[in-house]
Chains A and B, each alone.
Chain A
C-alpha cells in the first residue's frame, strides 16, 4: 500500500483500463490537451494518443450520445462530464438512451459505458454548479451509480465501472480530488464490486450511513462522539445503485439506531430510500426513529455562510446522532 490522492487513483484506473482494453477510450471537455479540468486525465494524451483521449466541444448532449452509439457498436467509452451539473443538458442521453437500450432492443444491445466526473456541491459555486445528482440517476432502472469517498474506492470502483457491461455513473467529488489515502500498488489489480458497502469505522451505539463527501464528515463527527462516549459505526454505501441493503441491515441490527447523512436534497433523496428499507425489513431492530441529514430544500446560495448552512454539516449530524441516542 502507498498513499496517493483521489485524483491520482482515478488517473491510474483510467490508464490501467486504457492499457488493458483497446476498445476503451476517454472523451470529454478538456480531457486531452488541457489534461482534464481537474487534472484527472494528466498524461493520458501523451501515453495513449489523440485517437483514444478525445477533446470535445462544449456539447454534452452530443458527446454523451456519441458515447452511447459507440457502445452500441461494441466500444467501451468513458465519457467525462466536467461536472455532473452539466450532465443535465445531456439528461436525455443518460436517462433515455443509455439505460433503455437493452430492454427496448429485446436484449440485443447492452451499453457498456462509463459516465464520470465530479458531483455534488463544491465550494461557493452557487445553484447551477452544485447539483448532487445521485438521487435523480439512481431512480432510473438500467443505470448503476457509485460514489467513491476514498482514493482506494475511487480506483477500484472506476475500474469495475469500465469493465461493467451496463451504463455506470461514477460520481466523484471535486472537494475529494486532492484528498489522500492508502491504495494497493499498481501491480496489484484493484477491483471493488458495485453494490458493496464498506464499514469505514466499527461502532456499537449508532449507525451513520453515508457516502461520497459525507463519509469524511461522518468520520470527523464520530471522533467527537467518541469523547462523549457514543460509539458510532460508519457505513459507506460506496454504490447507491445497486444498494447494499444487507450491509445497512447488519449494522443497524447491531446498533439499533440509524442516521443517514447524504449530500443530496431531502425530498426523494437517497436517505428516503434507505430509511424505507430499514423500516420495511428490520423495523423491530430499531430503538429510535431514523434521522436524516441532507441539504436544506433550497437552491444552493453563493454566499459562504448561507452555503454552509444549506449543506449537511457536523453540527447537524451531531444533533441528529444525539437525538436518536436520546443523549
Chain B
C-alpha cells in the first residue's frame, strides 16, 4: 500500500484535472439528456477531496454527501464506472441503481454517496465505531457541506462521535451556499468551525483552494488520530463554480464573486507551485490535461456502449440473500 507522504503531487494534480474534465463532460452529457435525475458538480472544490485522499491510507473509510463524483474518482473508481453510473448502466459503480447522488465503491473504501443532507454523518460515526471496536487504526473521513451543519442528524452524530471518542475527521466543505441559501442566511454562528467547539471537538480552518494545505492538515490530524482515537473537525473553505445542481443558474451570487474565486483556482494554484519548483513544465501540464480529457471522452463512449441491467434484476437488490453482487 502506498504511504500518503509518497503520493506524487503531479499525480494528484492529474487527478484534480480528471475530476474537472469529468464534471465538464458530465454537464454536457446532462444537457444532452444522457444523464437523468439530479446532478451536482464538484468543479472548483477538487483540492478538498484530492488533498484529503492524498493524506490518508487507501484503507481509511471515506463517506460523503451527494456531490460525490470527485470523491469516487479520487478514491480510484474509474472514470468509466463513474460515467456509466450517470448513464444508468450495469457497468456503473452501483450498476445504474444509485445514480449521481449515490456513488459507492466498497473495494476502494468509498462508503457513499448519500443524498439526505446530514443523514450520513451518523453513518460515519458507525464506520469509525467499527474501526475502534475492532481496534484498527483506520481513520474515517466524513465530508459534508455547509448546509448539513443545521440538521439534527449532524448534531446528534457529533455528540456521539465526541462522547465515544471516535476516529473521524469531519470535513465541512464550506462552499458558502446550501443550494441557494448563503451560510449567512442559514447559520447563527459567525463561523462554522464554532460548531466543533460546541462538542469539544478540536477544529481548524483550512484553505480548500490550496491542495497542499488541505493535504498537510489532514495528514497531521490523521497521524494524531491513529495514535489515539479521537475526532477532529475541519472547516475547509472552498467554492463551487457551478450552480447547486444542473438546474440552478446560481443567480443568488454575483459574477464578481465567482471571478474572484476562479482566480484562486485550485488547479492553477498547484500547477503554479509545481512549475515554480521546477517539478512540472508547461508541456507536461498540457499532456496531463490532454490525457484527462481523453480518459473522460473514452468514459462517455464506454457508458454509451454499456448494457443496462435486465428489468427482472430489480428484485435481486431489495434483500441480500447471501450472494454478493
Assess A107 versus B318: contact at CB under 8 Å? Given A66-B129, A69-B126: no
Q: Does any Cβ of A come within 8 Å of B156's Cβ?
A: yes
Q: Could you tell me if B317 and A65 are in contact, using CB atoms closer than 8 angstroms?
A: no
Q: Which residues of B contact A71 (CB under 8 A)?
A: 126
Q: DSSP majority for the B interface?
A: mixed
CB distance from A96 to the nearest CB of B (A): 6
Q: Which residues of A contact B111 (CB under 8 A)?
A: 69, 72-73, 109
Q: Could you tell me if B98 and A105 are in contact, using CB atoms closer than 8 angstroms?
A: yes
CB distance from B167 to the nearest CB of A (A): 12
CB distance from A21 to the nearest CB of B (A): 13
Assess A110 versus B125: contact at CB under 8 Å? Given A61-B152, A93-B119: no
Q: Does any Cβ of B come within 8 Å of A63's Cβ?
A: yes
Q: Does any Cβ of B come within 8 Å of A64's Cβ?
A: yes
A200 to B160, alpha carbons, bound, how many Å? Answer: 44
Q: Does any Cβ of B come within 8 Å of A74's Cβ?
A: yes
Q: Which residues of A contact B95 (CB under 8 A)?
A: 106-107
**Most chain B CB inside 10 Å of its own CB: which residue of A62, A92, A101, A109:** A62
Q: Does any Cβ of B come within 8 Å of A122's Cβ?
A: no
- List residues of B (297-325) whose CB comes within 8 Å of A's CBs: 316-322, 324-325
Q: Which residues of B contact A165 (CB under 8 A)?
A: 320-322
Q: Which residues of B contact A93 (CB under 8 A)?
A: 119, 122, 153
CB distance from B166 to the nearest CB of A (A): 9
User: What residue in chain B is nearest A102 (Cβ atoms)?
Assistant: B320
Q: Which residues of B contact A217 (CB under 8 A)?
A: none
A64 to B152, alpha carbons, bound, how many Å? Answer: 13
Q: Could you tell me if B318 and A103 are in contact, using CB atoms closer than 8 angstroms?
A: yes
Q: Does any Cβ of A come within 8 Å of B112's Cβ?
A: yes
Q: Does any Cβ of A come within 8 Å of B163's Cβ?
A: yes
Q: Select one of A64, A110, A144 contacting B122, CB under 8 A.
A: A64
Q: Does any Cβ of B come within 8 Å of A303's Cβ?
A: no
Q: Could you tell me if B93 and A73 are in contact, using CB atoms closer than 8 angstroms?
A: no
Q: Select one of A69, A102, A144 contacting B123, CB under 8 A.
A: A69
* Per-residue interface assignment for chain B, residues 109 to 127, with 1 indicating a CB less than 8 Å from any chain A CB and 0 otherwise: 0011110100111111111
- List residues of B (129-157) whose CB comes within 8 Å of A's CBs: 129-131, 133, 152-153, 156-157
Q: Select one of B153, B159, B163 contacting A65, CB under 8 A.
A: B153
Q: Does any Cβ of A come within 8 Å of B106's Cβ?
A: yes
CB distance from B27 to the nearest CB of A (A): 23
Q: Does any Cβ of A come within 8 Å of B61's Cβ?
A: yes
CB distance from B161 to the nearest CB of A (A): 9
Q: Does any Cβ of A come within 8 Å of B70's Cβ?
A: no
CB distance from A114 to the nearest CB of B (A): 14
Q: Does any Cβ of A come within 8 Å of B102's Cβ?
A: yes
Q: Which residues of B contact A279 (CB under 8 A)?
A: none
Q: Which residues of B contact A106 (CB under 8 A)?
A: 92-98, 104, 317, 325
Q: Could you tell me if B325 and A107 are in contact, using CB atoms closer than 8 angstroms?
A: yes
Q: Select one of A61, A144, A166 contacting B153, CB under 8 A.
A: A61
Q: Which residues of B contact A57 (CB under 8 A)?
A: 159-160, 163
Q: Which residues of B contact A73 (CB under 8 A)?
A: 61, 111, 126-127, 130-131
Q: Could you tell me if B156 and A103 are in contact, using CB atoms closer than 8 angstroms?
A: no
CB distance from B217 to the nearest CB of A (A): 24
Q: Could you tell me if A59 and B159 are in contact, using CB atoms closer than 8 angstroms?
A: yes
Q: Does any Cβ of B come within 8 Å of A318's Cβ?
A: no
Q: Could you tell me if A69 and B106 are in contact, using CB atoms closer than 8 angstroms?
A: no
Q: Could you tell me if B129 and A70 are in contact, using CB atoms closer than 8 angstroms?
A: yes
Q: Which residues of A contact B153 (CB under 8 A)?
A: 61-62, 65, 92-93
Q: Can you report 20 A-B residue pairs in the complex whose CB atoms are below 8 A from each other?
A: A61-B156, A62-B153, A65-B121, A65-B125, A65-B126, A65-B157, A68-B122, A68-B123, A69-B125, A69-B129, A69-B130, A73-B111, A93-B119, A101-B112, A102-B317, A102-B319, A105-B102, A106-B94, A106-B104, A108-B105
Give 9 closest A-B pairs by Cβ, nearest first: A69-B126, A65-B122, A107-B325, A62-B156, A106-B94, A110-B320, A73-B130, A69-B123, A106-B95
| A residues whose Cβ falls under 8 Å from a Cβ of B | 25, 51, 56-57, 59, 61-75, 77, 92-93, 96-97, 101-110, 141-142, 144, 165-166
Q: Other CB < 8 Å A-B pairs besides A59-B159, A65-B122, 6 of them?
A: A68-B122, A69-B127, A72-B126, A103-B317, A109-B111, A109-B112
